[in-house]
Structure 1
């Protein structure tokens, strides 16, 4: 693995470039951009998939989203869906500058919210030749199912407060413990599994610090990751979901994306007995996902 940086507007994106065994810079390789979930960083589930894909002969690039992790950009902890989509385009830009990458064989893998961003990016980014999602979610759908009008009103008030000199409001992606979740009435199993992944030694990483700029909420509510997929998402598509359905909606979103996409070559694979977070890092579930991802990318890139 190589730690790399590439230019992204007027800041740098921090990334890990995962290389196959016996890597040879004189050869041309297929490349896959791996897009992490909201609240995540490149060393977590996106990095796990990138590492496994590299072991199968691909070059895989996992990076930190703008404003987050080790990447640059201000304000910090902003989750801007439009910027997240543009991050993918800059990642493709970077890959095309590497002599050992075949620029005509670049694929895209997104996990959770990263799956929604990947689907959206593929609609405009025609250098992406195939796209896959693992428990991909349309994050806007999830946020709109909450009390979104009240949230938009509160964001508007907060923006006025900050415009007048107040410090930015930083909130959390998830509660920090099961006890905190229960006190907040957020004890559905998807949330408890999120806490188990992100807030314990299972998946915690120092730069994944559970911080979200509160005013990001309006961006998340307004963005529809699957908008125009019935016209513009034409590349080969693989959607992977788990059948242990929770409140986060990745099972439902996966079928919506599959049904909506204009792709003539598309498939959906359901991992039996797997939850959303099992497909982040649990060996049995991720092996089944990879057993489908690897031949998909081999055949379509």
Structure 2
């Protein structure tokens, strides 16, 4: 008796759910496939990983119910557990081999915000995608939180490639990466040395080394001011060591009118105020409207928290994208806005990178417009870029 289309879809859904549920953190043996076709959907072969149903969904963008989304967890090479969302294309076929893209960012955001939106959109266009929280942020692990590391955040991209590349319905030779805002530098850095990443893109790129060590356009700190910031970091490092815990601080340390570094003080201090001050500058307003307004998420550092006071250390110690010319011949796509205060970051990297490379400047787009304002994000061109270099 011929099965109805509805019955076939139901069976396919059951097979996928059973297969994905078979993965364990310990990398134990997988459950037997429900039928011959189910072997292709038996989740990750990577040890210390899991794929489970997504519960308590707190994504802040419009969720497309046609795109299956799973909760995933995997370890990076430091043993830190990274949490993410796996997005499967519409009409997912367990017997196919898909191209995949891993996403993270912005700096201080979570997977339920911009990176999830990008991942969902590219899954709608036929890619298997993963949006993940970097170590120490969101739902990802470690015994400290709200800490940033250029090294470990870059490693998280490598680990995401490990995870997605070992999914049996993904072709590990067709994996790309994308970073948004401050995670753009980590995505590019990962791709420079990880030749498994066949194409890399950024949107609203921020070079966090330049932003933290030099400040805006590299002309904020004088040599004396930079030494003042180093003194502040030493002071805070002693305090954190004495207390055995992290203390709140700004990742970009300002110098006050008194010539001293500005400390984060006060009960429950956050990066962004709960109320936008009168006469706030356009950049602060742009960030506020996204993180405190349309995309507020309680786990996002930029929405509801602040970094640890010693977070700048890693960005003073290490230089992201230092060897960007070595990315070639693998392709680079940079997306920015003509009204984005961060535009110069993308332009600087574009100038330094070798071909093949492309810079897209979106008319009328501010920095945060590229986080979630659909009509200002060039998804068609992003799709074309990854389709050209990864296929589908």
Tell me, yes or no, if structure 1 residue 279 matches structure 2 residue 370.
Answer: yes
Query: What is the CA-CA distance between 1:96 and the residue it aligns to?
Result: 1.9
Tell me, yes or no, if structure 1 residue 190 matches structure 2 residue 298.
Answer: no
Partner of 1:227: 322
Tell me, yes or no, if structure 1 residue 175 matches structure 2 residue 268.
Answer: no
Tell me, yes or no, if structure 1 residue 210 matches structure 2 residue 310.
Answer: no
Contact residue 276 and residue 288 of structure 2 kept, 8 A: no
Contact residue 152 and residue 217 of structure 1 kept, 8 A: no
Partner of 1:3: 71
Tell me, yes or no, if structure 1 residue 85 matches structure 2 residue 180.
Answer: no
Instruction: Give the count of matched residue pairs.
Output: 290
Task: Compute the TM-score of the two structures, normalised by the length of structure 1.
Answer: 0.91
Measure the CA separation in 1 of the matches of 2:80 and 2:295.
27
Contact residue 276 and residue 285 of structure 2 kept, 8 A: no
Tell me, yes or no, if structure 1 residue 149 matches structure 2 residue 227.
Answer: yes
Measure the CA separation in 1 of the matches of 2:359 and 2:128.
24
Measure the CA separation in 2 of the matches of 1:68 and 1:47.
15
- The counterpart of 1:38, out of the listed 104, 107, 114, is 107
Computing the radius of gyration from Cα coordinates, the structure with the larger value is: 2
SS of the residue 1:168 aligns to: coil
SS of the residue 1:5 aligns to: strand
Task: Compute the TM-score of the two structures, normalised by the length of structure 2.
Answer: 0.71
Give the number of the structure with larger relative contact order, counting CA–CA contacts within 8 Å between residues 6 or more apart: 1
Partner of 1:16: 85
Query: What is the CA-CA distance between 1:256 and the residue it aligns to?
Result: 1.0
Partner of 1:70: 139
Query: What is the CA-CA distance between 1:167 and the residue it aligns to?
Result: 4.2
Partner of 2:384: 295
- The counterpart of 1:158, out of the listed 236, 241, 252, is 236
- Where do 4+ consecutive residues of structure 1 move more than 4 Å? none
Structure 1, unaligned stretches of length 5 or more?
Answer: none
Measure the CA separation in 2 of the matches of 1:274 and 1:45.
15
Measure the CA separation in 2 of the matches of 1:141 and 1:220.
8
Query: What is the CA-CA distance between 1:233 and the residue it aligns to?
Result: 4.8
Query: What is the CA-CA distance between 1:175 and the residue it aligns to?
Result: 1.9
CA deviation string 1:103-154 (max 9, x = no partner): 0000111110111111111111110000111111101111212443322211
Query: What is the CA-CA distance between 1:171 and the residue it aligns to?
Result: 3.2
Alignment CA distance shift 1:281-1:27 (3 Å): same
Contact residue 20 and residue 59 of structure 1 kept, 8 A: yes
Contact residue 328 and residue 356 of structure 2 kept, 8 A: no
User: Relative to total residues, which structure has the larger strand share, 1 or 2?
Assistant: 1
Measure the CA separation in 1 of the matches of 2:245 and 2:356.
49
